[in-house]
Amino acid sequence: MTRYLLAVCVAAVSLVLTPLPSVRGQPSTESVVVSYPSKSITSFPILETARQRGFFQKEGLNVSAVYMRGGIDIKALLTGDADFGTGATTAVTAFVAGAPLRAVMSLNAHVDQGLYAQSKFKTLAQLKGQSIGSLNPGGLVDTLLRRILVQGGLQPDKDVIVLNMGGTPERYAALRSGTIAASMLSAPHSLRAEKDGFTRIALTRDYVDVPGTALIVHADRIRKRPAMIKRFMRATFRALNYLRENRAETTQMIVREFGMDQEIAGLAYRVLLELISPDGRNRVEGYQFLIDSARIAQKIDKPISAAQFVDESLLEEVLRERTVH
């Protein structure tokens, strides 16, 4: 009898310790880290919606969205400490330098950035000799700012002082405090800046139209963990659809997460709808401009095709699945 009871106890403990099979064929939970270089309207609402609405969990993913300043996010991808990055332009700079990074899915078809200044400044020329808030050198914000300055007849780091000041909230706070004369801003902070009386000096899309944020991975991830990437993409598509179809809930999320009033959040929602990618495909021609700019900055003569940076093989599989279903 003693042996019988011992056998029953061992069997019971084994049942408790043995992982339960996935429910309805869902994959077991897998931890994933995704970084974002700035809490802006372009990517954060997508990631936050996928997390809050349980879309990641439904795909068996335990996702941690971590703020990492530009440059650090790329290092995390290369060391394996992050599975996805969203700083596409910083990734391009690293790719041109030889880093094995790939853009696997577009989150924003276009960039939402503008140059805003203290109310006393009305033109780009009037900013000569002034301090302008930017983000990490070689990143998207910095690249676009320098493009605006050059086309406007000002030499970066000579005619103006370009400051690396962190994310959009930090730059907007510096602008409001009067610490800087102007700054690059994205929605919803750019919308608040206009409401508060700051001058919109330039919109980047009037100077150059480049892709916005994207999912960036280490090339090895595509080969070694394709199933995980596809699950992340599927959850992301659900988030994009939710954003499009649920205006009230998304607006409230913007109010809550960005500390914006209802009016500004409503305007930010409209900007978000204009930005998000319709199908996740990357605009290769836009990346070519960024790659060529990075080549010039790094003094690399050899041509580099943007097609080498973009890998949509897994995206196409997910799109085919969505068409079938």
**What pLDDT is stored for residue 1 in this prediction?**
42
Nearest to 144 by CA among 54, 207, 70: 207
Number of H-type helices and E-type strands within the chain: 14, 9
**What pLDDT is stored for residue 325 in this prediction?**
58
CA distance 261 to 13: 54
Sequence-separated (6 or more) residues with CB below 8 Å from residue 252: 265
CA distance 251 to 173: 22
Q: Percent of the chain, pLDDT > 70?
A: 91
CB distance 211 to 286 below 8 Å: yes
CB distance 167 to 189 below 8 Å: no
In terms of DSSP H, where are the helices of 178-299?
189-195, 219-224, 226-245, 247-258, 262-275, 284-298
**What pLDDT is stored for residue 89 in this prediction?**
84
Nearest to 135 by CA among 87, 96, 75: 87
Sequence-separated (6 or more) residues with CB below 8 Å from residue 300: 96
pTM, full prediction:
0.78
Strand partners for 203: 114
Sequence-separated (6 or more) residues with CB below 8 Å from residue 97: 294, 298
CB distance 116 to 193 below 8 Å: yes
CA distance 78 to 72: 10
Q: Which amino acid is at 98?
A: G
Q: Which segments of the chain have a pLDDT < 70?
A: 1-27, 324-325
